[in-house]
């Protein structure tokens, strides 16, 4: 029923039950949950800076993609 109504924007079954239990327990918003770790943008920026420093120090450096 949810898939018919929302299409690709539908939560998976597990996420639906998690949200349901949050609302059942009295919460009215789940967007304000504290997240652990650094934001992705910070990690990406640090990685880009490190790669830039490597390339500047030795322009023949080779990267292996895995």
- Spell 35-44 as b/e; 16+ CB within 10 A means b: eeeeeeeeee
DSSP at 10: P
Residues 56, 59: Cα–Cα separation, whole Å: 6
- pLDDT value of residue 35: 64
- Residue pLDDT, tens place only, 20-29: 888 888 887 7
- Residue pLDDT, tens place only, 40-65: 666 788 888 888 888 889 888 777 76
If pLDDT is split at 50, 70 and 90, which confidence band does 33 have? Answer: low
- pLDDT value of residue 26: 85
10 contacts 3 by C-beta, under 8 angstroms? yes
pTM: 0.36
2 contacts 16 by C-beta, under 8 angstroms? yes
């Amino acid at each position: 029923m949810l898939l018919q109504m929302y299409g690709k924007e539908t939560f998976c079954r597990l996420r639906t039950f998690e949200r349901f239990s949050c609302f059942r327990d009295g919460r009215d918003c789940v967007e304000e949950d504290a997240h652990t770790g650094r934001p992705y943008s910070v990690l990406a920026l640090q990685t880009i800076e490190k790669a830039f420093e490597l390339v500047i120090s030795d322009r023949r450096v080779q990267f292996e993609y895995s």
